[in-house]
Structure 1
Amino acid sequence: MNDFLPEDTILIVDDEPANIKTLASTLGQHYRVLAATSGEQALDIIFERSCELDLILLDVLMPGLTGYDVNARVRSYPETANIPIIFITARTDPDEEARGLDMGAVDYIGKPFHPVTVQARVKTQIELKKHKEYLDDMVAARTQELIQAREDIVLRLAKAAETRDNETGMHIIRLSKLCEMLARAIGMKRTMARTLATASLMHDVGKIGIPDNILLKPGRHTEEERAIMQTHTTLGGEILADGDNDLLIMAREIALTHHERWDGTGYPCGLKGEEIPLEGRITSVCDVFDALTSVRPYKEAWSVEKAAAFLRENSGSMFEPRLVDLFLANLDQVLDIISAYQDEPERILQPN
């Protein structure tokens, strides 16, 4: 019974058909074997079938592209960089072997071939590759569990803060999704956009420190009350201060700056333009749009058209123009998010 499944695939690259025949005969009983007689042909196979390849046996000295050239190309692309390569060569110079290993090769096999040696070294590299993939999968799964746990904890804390306000828990979820969408639209990397989505959940965490008679007041605030209400930004910054990880650092930036305005007339610091962190600028656009289009005990929901017009009218004053343009250019995605995470009418809090 074979130790390896038939789908274990090896690519043999050598400009001498006799060498390919010898290696194929040695390995074909245990592996699926592909062959190329030039570096150029090898690259075509590698890039077309990278997901199938478990190992490459690569001749060093070939006309045209050498084995070193092929190795360099393979290592330069993320899709192929982790395919193990064993160099095969008639050279016995230790410096050449060291050069190949420095370039990322996992082993060297000398010519003429000794079947037992070839089989043993190939078996070792196949096993190492499978073990690495297994460990990578375990790490990825555990990492995902930790990310999910972190996000769940943040969401629960954010919902706890929202229960003191005239907003529903769905607002912060929509905001999170909208922020991630807009971040991706401006080219932010997926992992950073996801961190932003989680951090934005805590944008109003400082409202925990606002007295109920002001926070839940159904009518207009007095000037004094408005000043107290605005301190939720700095209170949020204090709550989230001294964080030593990317999530808490970003969450603090958002809590402090999501009420700053592009023209410098916002609060708490009157930051202007790109002085406002990008995360705060993104959250501002998304927060305002969702608030406008949501029902509150003290207001009806605005239509999408009216809310979009508000963003346009305040582009360059309240909001960064680039972000407004991108947000409205992706309005179909915005509406999908709002539709998927609608408020439950019975959950909308009434003022005391």
Structure 2
Amino acid sequence: MSEQPPLVLVVEDEPDLADLYAAWLGDEYRVRTAYGGHEALETIDDLDDDVDAILLDRRMPGLSGDEVLAAVRERGIDCRVAMVTAVEPDFDILEMGFDDYLVKPVASDTLKETVEGLLRRGEYDTGIQDLFALTSKKAMLEAEKSASELADNQEYQELTARIETLRDEADRSLEAVTQKDDFEALFREFDAEE
């Protein structure tokens, strides 16, 4: 029996757009759609933590994408989330628990690459996942804000410092693994010589 492909939940209040995203992804993934925030949370509850990635519209009537994202994180659901929205990113995104941010309109290739990236990130430990998410937020802000706006924003400065800390930790972890592998290889060579 083969393993099922990852499950992607598309949350979009414009049904035609949600169905288009689902069609783009349907050949590679299992896809469910929810046409609003309340329906998204009901669907997530029904799926019982089986969701691997969520594509989440930020501005929806009733229950916004921001509120859905907060509920997903509060419930401890372990999945990657990309905001796919017409809302231009602002410094408020720094406090949000998403992994990637796409500004509409989104092309098919971009959407597919984003989902692939989200799923790949899910394989890493928490520190690396955080590094990817923060780096994505930094890139979005740098694309949307002027250098002076970035320089004047304390939250952005803290984000930059946090990214540097996470990069240093990742480098140290990689170095430790490399040294451990070298150490083990040395013993294998020593055992082989006996």
TM-score interval, normalised by the smaller of the two chains: 0.5 to 0.7
Aligned-residue offset at 1:48: 2.4
Which SS does the other structure have where 2:40 is aligned?
helix
Q: 1:55 maps to which residue?
A: 53
Aligned-residue offset at 1:51: 2.4
Matched to 1:110, the amino acid is V
Aligned-residue offset at 1:101: 4.6
Contact 1:101 1:107 in 2 (8 A): no
What per-residue deviation string (whole Å, max 9, x for no partner) do you get for residues 205-226 of structure 1?
xxxxxxxxxxxxxxxxxxxxxx
Q: 1:88 maps to which residue?
A: 84
In 2, Cα distance between the equivalents of 1:101 and 1:31? 29
Give matches, 1:54-133, under 5 Å.
Answer: 54-78=52-76, 80=77, 82-92=78-88, 94-95=89-90, 98-132=91-125
CA gap 1:121/1:60 in 2 versus in 1, 3 angstroms: same
Structure with greater proportional strand content:
2
Aligned-residue offset at 1:13: 0.4
In 2, Cα distance between the equivalents of 1:124 and 1:101? 20
In 1, Cα distance between the equivalents of 2:94 and 2:42? 23
Two-structure CA RMSD over aligned residues (Å): 2.1
Structure 1 residue runs of 5 or longer lacking an equivalent are 136-352
CA gap 1:18/1:72 in 2 versus in 1, 3 angstroms: same
Q: 1:316 maps to which residue?
A: none
Which SS does the other structure have where 2:54 is aligned?
strand
From 33, 41, 44, the equivalent of 2:42 is: 44
What per-residue deviation string (whole Å, max 9, x for no partner) do you get for residues 270-303 of structure 1?
xxxxxxxxxxxxxxxxxxxxxxxxxxxxxxxxxx
Deviating above 3 A after TM superposition, structure 1's stretches of 4 or more consecutive aligned residues are: none
In 2, Cα distance between the equivalents of 1:57 and 1:33? 10
Q: 1:14 maps to which residue?
A: 12
Larger relative contact order, structure 1 or 2 (CA cutoff 8 Å, min sep 6):
2
Aligned-residue offset at 1:75: 1.0
Q: 2:148 maps to which residue?
A: none
In 2, Cα distance between the equivalents of 1:66 and 1:30? 28
The structure with the largest alpha-carbon Rg is 1
Contact 1:87 1:100 in 2 (8 A): no
What per-residue deviation string (whole Å, max 9, x for no partner) do you get for residues 159-193 of structure 1?
xxxxxxxxxxxxxxxxxxxxxxxxxxxxxxxxxxx
Contact 1:26 1:115 in 2 (8 A): yes
Contact 2:19 2:33 in 1 (8 A): no
Give matches, 1:213-224, under 5 Å.
Answer: none
Which SS does the other structure have where 2:62 is aligned?
coil
Structure 2 residue runs of 5 or longer lacking an equivalent are 129-194
Matched to 1:89, the amino acid is T
Contact 1:6 1:30 in 2 (8 A): no
From 21, 24, 30, the equivalent of 1:32 is: 30
Question: What number of residue pairs does the alignment pair up?
Answer: 126
Matched to 2:79, the amino acid is I
Percent identical across equivalent pairs? Answer: 34
What per-residue deviation string (whole Å, max 9, x for no partner) do you get for residues 130-184 of structure 1?
3349x9xxxxxxxxxxxxxxxxxxxxxxxxxxxxxxxxxxxxxxxxxxxxxxxxx
